[in-house]
Amino acid sequence: MFESLNKPAHLFILIIVFALTACGEKPTNSNSANNKTQADAKDEFVGCYTINKDTPAQIKISKNQDGYVMQMKEPKGAKTLWDNPESLKKVEPEQAWNFFRVNALDFGKDDVQAVIMRPDNMMVLTKVKDTSKNVNPKLDSDFVVHIFGAVNTIYAVDCDDKQIDIVKTER
């Protein structure tokens, strides 16, 4: 998906993803990376995600008493691995379709199984129907994300404890 982007464009996308954490909600009692629990394994959104399938997890979605929350990985050297949780809400696909209406994935309203989103609409995550993924070669993931106006696939990966460099400088 991002192979055709140059390094500044990829860096820009990473910065946008990490900018989503600017407004924090009250933290939950866990800031560590945890693999899916047995109860969460059945949930279609709980887990970790990355925008490039060859990189460590960058986003973690879990459930708390109020519903879904998302956390972003903190930059390398931070005191905690994950930032404070941001609330997410589950919505009907029809309510969120306008975010995906224009896309280069040949992704249609009928391809959406479920949707969660930030209340500020800065991130909207859809679970793609299995049948749609099987017939559309542009959908190489189970998930499609809308971030700051861009629609792309996003990949579910194992949650990990690896710190990541948000911004790499080359010399």
Look at residue 171 and tell me if it is in a domain. no
Look at residue 121 and tell me if it is in a domain. yes
Look at residue 29 and tell me if it is in a domain. yes
Closest CA to 60 of 74, 78, 76: 74
Going by pLDDT thresholds of 50, 70 and 90, the confidence category of residue 13 is: low
CB neighbours of residue 11 within 10 Å: 14
Split into its structural domains, the chain has a count of: 1
Q: For residue 124, what is the enclosing H or E element?
A: strand 123-128
Closest CA to 61 of 88, 32, 95, 80: 88
Q: Which residue is associated with the tokens 């949707």?
A: 115
Look at residue 53 and tell me if it is in a domain. yes
Question: pLDDT tens for residues 137-154?
Answer: 999 999 999 998 899 999
- Which has more confidence, 162 or 12? 162
Look at residue 95 and tell me if it is in a domain. yes
Residue 6's pLDDT is 52
What would the DSSP string read from start to end of 95-112?
A: HHGGGTSS-SS---GGGE
User: What is the span of the domain harbouring residue 120?
Assistant: 7-157
Average pLDDT over residues 111-131: 95
pTM of the model: 0.73
- The one-character DSSP state at 97 is G
Look at residue 28 and tell me if it is in a domain. yes
Beta bridge partners of 90: 116
Q: How far apart are CA 95 and CA 117, in angstroms?
A: 10
Look at residue 67 and tell me if it is in a domain. yes
Question: pLDDT tens for residues 30-77?
Answer: 444 444 434 444 689 999 999 988 889 999 999 988 899 999 999 888
Look at residue 165 and tell me if it is in a domain. no
